[in-house]
Amino acid sequence: MIIIQKFIGLFINLISLVSRQLAARLGLFLFTKPFKGRINEKQSDFLGTSFREELKVNDISVMTYRWLGQGKTVLLAHGWESNAARWQYLIEPLKKLQYNIVALDAPAHGRSGSKRFNALLYAQFIQQVAKKFNPDIIIGHSVGGMATAFSDVNHDNSKLKKLILIGAPSEFTDVLNRYFKMMGYTKRTQNAIVDLIKKRFKIDSISFSTAKQLAQLNVEGLIIHDEKDAIIPYSDAVLINQSFKNSRLITTSGMGHSMAHESISHHIYEFLEG
């Protein structure tokens, strides 16, 4: 896989010598195109136990799943190349505790629409779902945590009291640089992609920061991150914790990036019930 990535990166670098714009489009396409995350048969069986409802954001379908309970409402936002079924390890116990549970599929994931993914569109998805179901708690894994931070849910949702981030990235520039390194892009290709992001999404990638965004959020926060996470470095969790004024950080070891483990669930239950 690494050899293939480097070969593709070399090909795009060569294209940049002829057409900087084409190289940028190809590089951004690979960065925003998930190749996994659609629902398989086993996941479909689990999600079939929910009430499904499709919402819309700019004419793009947003699939939501609900497991009804008499308690507080929890909204679950998954990460890259995943879908709502990844929360099964957490949903089953929360159902027993009578939480009202809502999960969604991100853009270009699961049963939601769009052929491409970006965190800003995901933030709009989360904001629309939060507006509909008014959660007391939001739990976001990986980029689902970053998108939650930028969804402005605290502005629209006065009920929101707690936010849990699991393996969430802090600085978008770092995410982008890790992608550049993985593909072996030259500075010429990198600059072309950064310029295209700024033009297409009307943002400066440097300003896209989970830590800075959460500095203004007035809710109770829990950050869970593995010190050996190979996808999102532990230092991201430290940055978020330092900025998110009413948060605490739980450090795990050997859980990796997925964190879909019973011990993680126990940390979450203690925080929710506390």
Q: What is the pLDDT of residue 274?
A: 76
Contact 148, 170 (CB under 8 A): no
Query: pLDDT for 56-74, tens place per residue?
Result: 999 999 999 999 999 999 9
The model carries a pTM of 0.95
Closest among 188, 99, 90 to 140, alpha carbons compared:
90
Per-residue pLDDT band for 202 (boundaries 50, 70, 90) equals confident
Burial of 74 (0-12, 13-18, 19+ CB in 10 A): buried
Query: Could you say which of 3.40.50.1820, 3.40.710.10, 3.40.640.10, 3.30.465.10 is the CATH number of the domain covering 42-170+209-273?
Result: 3.40.50.1820
Rounded Cα distance, 202 and 205, in Å: 9
Q: How many CB atoms lie within 10 A of CB 156?
A: 13
Residue spans per domain, the chain? 1-32+172-202, 42-170+209-273
User: CB under 8 Å to 32, separation ≥6 — which residues?
Assistant: 116, 117, 118
Query: pLDDT for 143-194, tens place per residue?
Result: 999 999 999 765 655 789 999 999 999 999 999 999 999 999 999 999 999 9
- Supply the mean pLDDT for the chain: 94
Q: How many CB atoms lie within 10 A of CB 10?
A: 14
Query: pLDDT for 104-141, tens place per residue?
Result: 999 999 999 999 999 999 999 999 999 999 999 999 99
